[in-house]
Amino acid sequence: MELFSDEEVLDTITTQMVCQYYLREKFWPVVRKYAARNNRVLDRIHSGMASVLRAGLQADTVSHWLAKTLSAEDRCGDPVPSLAWRMDNIGFGNTRMDALTSEPAADVYLVK
C-alpha cells in the first residue's frame, strides 16, 4: 500500500478475490464434471482460464459475483481471509472493482 494508492490496492484485492470466488464456485465444478468423463479436458485447462474469466465476469454479472464474494464467510483452514475482512483491515467500507478489460495488460502496456 506504500507504493500505490489505497483505491488501487482495494481494486486489486477485490478483483483477485472475485476471480478466485468465480473460479472456485463456477469454473472448477464444471471442469471436474467434464474431467470425470474425459480426463483430456485437463490437458489445456489453464491456457483458457483468462478467456473464461472475461466471459464470466462481464459488466452485467460482475455485481452479482462481487456480492457473492462479499457475503462469503471465511473458510476453515483457508489462509486467505474473506474480502469483507480484508476491506475492513485496510479501512474501506465499500468495494471498488474496475471492469475487466477485453485485452491483456501485456498488449496494452508492452506492445505499444
Which residue in this structure is represented by grid cell 482460464?
49
**Sequence ranges of the domains in the chain:** 6-109
Buried b (16+ CB within 10 A) or exposed e, 17-36: bbbebbbeeebeeebeeeee
Predicted pLDDT of residue 96: 67
Confidence of residue 100 (pLDDT cuts 50, 70, 90): low
**Which pLDDT tens digit goes with each residue over 8-22?**
888 888 989 999 999
Let me know if 10 is exposed, middle or buried by CB neighbors in 10 A (0-12, 13-18, 19+): buried
In this prediction the pTM is 0.72
